[in-house]
Structures are given as C-alpha cells and as structure tokens.
Structure 1
C-alpha cells in the first residue's frame, strides 16, 4: 500500500507524536509498504539533516508564528501536499491531529476519494493553555471565563465529534482513551492501536548503563529518572514535591534525573533550588533517543506524574528497558502500569506517592519487578502493531471504495481506479 501520514509535529521537535509517527512509518516500511510523511518545514536547516528517514518526508510550509513551546502552524492544503498527490496515488491518509493537518486530510479525502484514519494522540482539553484565549483562567473576568469554559466543555468536544465523524476510522492509543472517546459521543469506528516499541529498547547496553550510574550516583544508592517535555501539563512540580518528601524522610541517598527540555525548565530548576534539592535533582536536557534506553536501564525507578497522557510512550520505553515505574494513576498510564507487578500507581498525593516509591524499592516484589517490566511490554513491539495497522488500512480502503464506487469522476476516478487495483493485489 501507499500511505500518506500527515502531522503538525515531527522531528526535530521532541514529543510523543513525532516519535509515534516515525515508528509507525518505519515499521510499515519494514512490511513492504510505501509511507510518505508530510511534516512541517521548520526552516534554518533544522529538519532531518542527513537522516536517511528524511528521504521519505515531504516538508510543508508553515506560518511564521509559533506556539510558545516551539510547535508550528502548518498551512492547510500546502503546495507540497497538492503536488505530491498530483504525482502519486495514495491508498490511505493517516492523520495525527484534528486541525491543520486534519483539515488537509479531509480536503484530500473529498478530492481523491481515499479513506482517512485519525489517531487521537492528545487530550486537547489539557493543552488549551498554549492558546492566548485560554491562558490564566483564574485571572480572567466573568465573560472571558465563560468563553474559556464554553470552548473547553462545548466547542472543543463538538469539533472533535464533527471531525471524527468525517474520518473512516479513529485509533485510540490505549483502552482508557478509547473509553473516553466513545463517552464523548464519537460515532466513527474506534479501534485501539498503541505506539510500538523499537527492538533497540529491549537491547540495552549494560556497560553504558553502569557508566551512567557511576557518573550520577557517586556515593548514593538509588538513581531515579523521568523523561518529559518540561511543560505545565507534565506536572513536574509534583515530582519535585515527592522527591523533597523522600529526602526529608531519610531515604537512602539518591539522585533524580529530569531528562527533557521545555519552556518550564528555568522555573523548575529554580523551584528545585528553593526546595533544597540542588544536590539531589539534575536537569540533563534532551538525551538522544538512541541513548535514552541506557539511562532508563541505569535507573532503579522511572517516576511519572502527568495526567494528560493518552498512552505514555516513555513509560513503555522505561518498562522495555527493565525499569519499574511509579506513576500518578491516570488514563493511558493505568493501561500500561500493572500495580504491584511492573510498578505502582498512586493518587496525586505526595505522601501516598512516596509510600509507593518505598514499596517499589523495598517491598516483597522489588526483586522481580525488573524482569516483569520487560515482559509486560513485549506485545508492544512496533512490527507486531504495524501488522494490525496494515489490516485496519486495508479494511478502510475496501469499505471506502465500496462507498464511492461509481460516484467519482475526473482525477478522482483515476485515483480511485489505481488504488482499488492496488487494494486487490495486496489482499
């Protein structure tokens, strides 16, 4: 099959969606499919550089203005997209956001009569603070507060129902997210498909992991880490408060690595100093993805507090590296962390969370948790999930061509004929 993937965010931007898109594309190519990623052009030579994967990426124009976290606003139906679809005959469009790329996907569906699959990666209600209208709700006047609530509680859900109603299939990254999508009243077919794990995460370098432990631990006993964009929705201050309590309760000496970058980094570093954690917390910045598995393998626990996840890719990566997880119980997270087996779930209460950390380190199951962590995510291998994705694409393509048979003309007729022929060759 020839698949077009449309995304508002892609490397070099660091985040869950770029990771998901890249892994899905690579796994599908490994099965013999042709996958083209349509992604933003970040300019200034900051795209993929010499990465061979960049050969499969079409960079599209964006508006000059950016969000405060570095995200861009891609242009809808950009010239690069139009020209690519004039040259090529795609069997399916897989889109990863409901606006900008999402609007382009619906335009392509209408013009070329091809199915659109959408992955619901994000709890958008938790990200509205990136838009000026929704910032600082507690400081807003009565009218603005009313507008903010209407946007979050009425307009956003209504738009998502409308958008998904135009799609042929909606993919949820976890069982909990699928449940929320259905509860919202989405009428399109919904299936679950998590982001997969590359084999490299199961193959850590023991020597490098030991080097990392020596570098950061020195005379300490435990090494903890978290991996996250340093943004409001990731709830890093809660982790700092939990770590402060662990220190005050005379836990064995430890070091906590905060891996990642974001607009909150300066604030969080200052907060850690104010809490007296300067000798405990280290902000490492971003770590290349190929090296991340060794930092995870070096750690005794992976700590996580975000409540905005639909899946929590970094949690799966930690488990694949053999690192048990202690996390705040939330949608997406609770589908991966099995309480008492590969980690622990806690309410968003610092004292209760600290007790789970103690239990993970000193409890009766502590010795078995590392092996259980690896075993718990073996079914998340990218190639296995790509096989499921392939089946979903084929079903969508077959259903779509049944619906449009005899109803297309012009270029759309040619496109439909070629795609339908290809469909029968691969089924």
Structure 2
C-alpha cells in the first residue's frame, strides 16, 4: 500500500456539531492509523482544542447568519507539509483553497459532496431568492466539483443529486464511517428524561432544514397513547419557535432541550434512548441515524435523499413520508407497544450499522486516492471549469505558487 501526505481541507470541523466535522475527524484518525501523514486544515474556532494533533487552524471570523460557521482567511504559509493528495470537504473558502493548490501544483484533488447546499441558501442573505431564479447554488457546486479528479458521494441518492448538477467527474459512492468505540466509551450523562417516561431522542441542528417541528408534532400524537418524553440534542436558530410550538401542542413539559453536546459525549445519550426520531429532508448521509443504530437504538426516519439508504426497513427501523408526523407517530408507537419487537429492531440496528466502520471507509477512500493519482499522471491538465479567485491578500507569499 502506498502511503500519502494528505491534506483534508474543510470549512466545518470539530468542535462544530455536524456530520461533516465528525466524518473529517474520523477519516483523519483512520488514515493516520494506516500510516498516512494526514492533516486537517480547518477554521479557527473559539472552543477548539489548541493541542489537537495534525490539525492546522486557519484564521477566521464568525459568520453572523449561521451559528458555529466561520469564514476562513487561508494562507499557504500555514501549510504544514507538501501534500500529495488534496481532499476537499466543503466548496467554501478552505475548500476552494485546497482545490486551487491542487490545480496549481498539478496534484490529485478528491472532493466529498457532503451537503445539499440549496437547502442552506436561506442562511445567506439574498441568495435564496437568487438561487430560485438563476440556480446560483447549482452553478457553484458545478464549478467546484468539476475541478476535482474524483468526487465522493456518501449515498446513491446524493450521487444522483450531484449528477443532476451536471458534475462531469467520476462519482464514487462511499458512506461516511462511524466509530462505535467512541460512542460506547462516552460517559453516561445526567438523564434528560424524567423517571418512568419512554425515552425518545433527536440529535441535530435546530434549524429549518432539519424539520424538527415534524418530530414535535409526532410527539404530540405519541403522547395520546404513550407517556413519552423527547430529548432534543443540538442548538440552532429555531429553538424559540420550536419551544412555542411545543407549548401550543401541549407537550412543552414533555421536551428537554439539551443543547449542544461534544462528539465524545454524544454516545451516552444514544445509549439511554429507546427510540430515535428524525425528520430532516435535506440529509446527504444522515450520520446521526447510523450512530443511533450503532448502539442499538431503532429509528423512525423521514425517507428522503441520504436517509433512504440509512435504515434497513422492518429490521433496524422505519422510513416514513416527508412531513408526515402522524405516520412517524404510528411507527414509533408500534415499537413502543411491543418490547420484544423493539429489542429485535435494536439487534438489527447494530448489525446494520456494523457495515460502516470508520476503518473500512478509510480503506475505500485510499483506493480513491490511488485512482486520482493515476488520473493526474495520465491526464495532468483535464478541462476544468474556471473558478473565481480567492482574495489575493489571503494567498500572498505562497510557497506553493497559489
């Protein structure tokens, strides 16, 4: 096996509570375990661990319209080594930086299509309207990913989405890895569920794109038959609105807003839950669904995009129609009524999630690095769509010519 010097370029990283951050962390760790020299290049964050090894923090400023998101100001003076592989994970400032460096130095560029950007356009003032009329987000994705040598999609539906953007590069489907050891090693938290209640869990950002309101409406239906309590792990701009909805539906006292939880501690909440509910229609991979199943929690999930391949229906959980809180409640009650059935689903969930260990995924990605290297050797200057320049002062004094 050839060993590489790899740069993982991402605008989202720990301690940011999202699937991209988690997947990059696990990939970096597994690549290093395999003997590769893997580095993460990510924005500075106020709560980031300054002692974390093999991570370069790029100076950044807060983005006012999206909590925990930073706008980075990259400079090639920060590069820790001369990379042989550039692996980008976001089509934003740091991702563009990595793409430009790869192109200028004629080195392999692999990019993972993590996020359905159109669903997040409302966080950029004016862009949602612009996207509606001219498809600006699709054009950005097309320009960025067509600069890669190979594109990775976490699921088949995401591959189809990327193809609909007219991305002309080869698209490989490789799921995001999960780490059951970290989940199992997490300490037991103070329980957010009152004693004697059925324990329902949701993990995710409290934003419009996650459709948490559907889960709350499902809770109101579930409580007509079962004494259930919902724990919402995560933070976001819609918390006040969701709190008001819960009170309007008469379930305000049956929900605990836990807030953000560090990745190394999230496993404790999964382990204590009896059932995981998730209603987002924008997931490219649904990492939290796999994490819940990895510790034996059956799931009831909206079937859309990346979640469609995230459940073994009738064995590890159920898929329901987008926006249908009544069907979500009905499926949840099936499992809450029958403990033997719930236990069978729990075992099925563990078996299903075992297919996505972080080590197996890293091995598949290294094979993609080999392929990208061969492509660059045979086609060093394939046609690539022009991409906007980054501000010149952010890349001044580059020792790699970017």
1:47–1:297: structure 2 CA closer, same or farther, 3 Å change rule? closer
- 2:326 maps to 351
**Aligned residue number for residue 217 of structure 1:** 194
Q: Give, in whole Å, the separation in 2 of the partners of 1:291 and 1:46.
A: 16
Question: 1:196, 1:383 within 8 Å by CA — same for their partners in 2?
Answer: yes
Write the deviation string for residues 173-197 of structure 1: whole angstroms up to 9, x where unpaired: 1121112222332210100122111
CA distance in 2, matches of 1:74, 1:202: 30
Name 1:92's counterpart in structure 2: 85
- 1:94, 1:118 within 8 Å by CA — same for their partners in 2? yes
1:121 and 1:177 map into 2 onto residues whose CA distance is: 8
Find the residue that maps to 2:49 and give its secondary structure: coil
- SS, match of residue 302 in structure 1: strand
Deviation at 1:95, TM superposition (A): 0.5
Q: Which has the higher helix share?
A: 1
* SS across alignment from 1:162: helix
CA distance in 2, matches of 1:268, 1:366: 28
Following TM superposition, by how much is the alpha carbon of 1:111 offset from its aligned partner in structure 2, in angstroms? 2.0
Partner in structure 2 of residue 23 of structure 1: 26
TM-score where L is the length of structure 1 = 0.83
8 Å CA contact retained: 2:182, 2:267: yes
Instruction: Give the distance between the partners of 1:34 and 1:183, measured in 2 at CA.
Output: 35
TM score, norm. by length of structure 2: 0.88
Unaligned runs of 5+ in 2: 382-398
Contact 2:62 2:68 in 1 (8 A): no
Q: Which aligned pairs between 1:151-170 and structure 2 lie closer than 5 A?
A: 151=134, 154-170=135-151
Q: Which residue of 2 aligns with 1:226?
A: 202
- Where does 1:119-268 land on structure 2 (aligned, <5 Å)? 119-134=112-127, 145=129, 147-151=130-134, 154-200=135-181, 203=184, 208=188, 212=191, 216-220=193-197, 222-247=198-223, 249=224, 251-268=225-242
Q: In structure 2, do the counterparts of structure 1 residues 55 and 92 end up closer, same or farther at CA, with 3 Å as the change threshold?
A: same
1:392 CA drift (Å): 0.8
Deviation at 1:64, TM superposition (A): 5.5
Give the match for residue 421 of structure 1.
none
- Alignment partner, residue 386 of structure 2: none
Distance 2:211 2:123 in 1: 15
Find the counterpart in structure 2 of residue 46 from structure 1: 47
Q: Distance in 1 between matches of 2:296 and 2:371?
A: 36
**Pairing 1:58–2:56 present:** yes
Distance 1:389 1:174, change over 3 A: same
Distance 1:166 1:219, change over 3 A: closer
Aligned length: 378
Partner of 2:77: 83
1:395 match? 371
Matched position secondary structure for 1:58: strand
Q: What root-mean-square deviation, in Å, do the aligned CA atoms of Structure 1 and Structure 2 show?
A: 2.3
User: In the alignment, which residue of structure 2 is the partner of 1:67?
Assistant: 65
Q: Secondary structure at the match of 1:69?
A: coil
Which deviations, in whole Å up to 9, do the C-alpha atoms of 1:299-330 show, x marking residues without a partner? 11000000110001100000001000001111
Taking the aligned partners of 2:23 and 2:251, their CA distance within structure 1 comes to 34
Residues 17-50 of structure 1: CA distance to partner in whole angstroms, max 9, x if unpaired? 11111111001111011111111123xx532244
Alignment partner of 1:6 is 2:9: yes
Unpaired stretches in structure 1, ≥5 consecutive residues: 136-144, 406-413, 416-427
Per the TM alignment, residue 204 of structure 1 is displaced from its structure 2 partner at its CA by 6.1
Q: CA deviation at 1:199?
A: 3.3
